[in-house]
Structure 1
Amino acid sequence: MFCGDAESPGHAECVAQMGLFAIASTIPAMLALILLVAAFATPAIRADTRLRAQTLIYSLIGWAIAGFTYVLGGLPSV
């Protein structure tokens, strides 16, 4: 999101909101990373191909949500 000049009113709140979106995107990213690691490291998931595919799909969804949240924080406000 474009916050304007540093001297403009509301600049500090805008920068804080951008930081909040960046932090909020780490939550689904960490969950997606945990699922990705579990899909390849856990013997029970590695043995069942259906469960492994399902875990990888959930991980992909988590990455998509994290990316969307991160991009949403960088879009210019309307």
Structure 2
Amino acid sequence: MTAPNATPVETLSFEAARDELVRVVAELEQGAPTLEHSLALWERGEALAARCEEWLLGAKRRLEATRPEASDDADEDES
């Protein structure tokens, strides 16, 4: 059983947060040695999940921002 990572969650890339979240979930499934350790893992997991969602929402916004431009370009080409 390992201690939760001390790296601030807000500095993690999507991939780093996702990979750590997978490790945290696996460790929780195995059972932590103390209630305090389980709570620390749970809290870290919640923060990691929120970070992943933040990255995914940002990516979705970026993709949606390009859609109107792409359809505008297609309209101009048809003229």
Task: Give TM-score scaled by structure 1 length.
Answer: 0.47
Higher-RCO chain (CA-CA 8 Å, sequence separation at least 6): 1
Task: Give TM-score scaled by structure 2 length.
Answer: 0.46
Pair member with larger Rg: 2
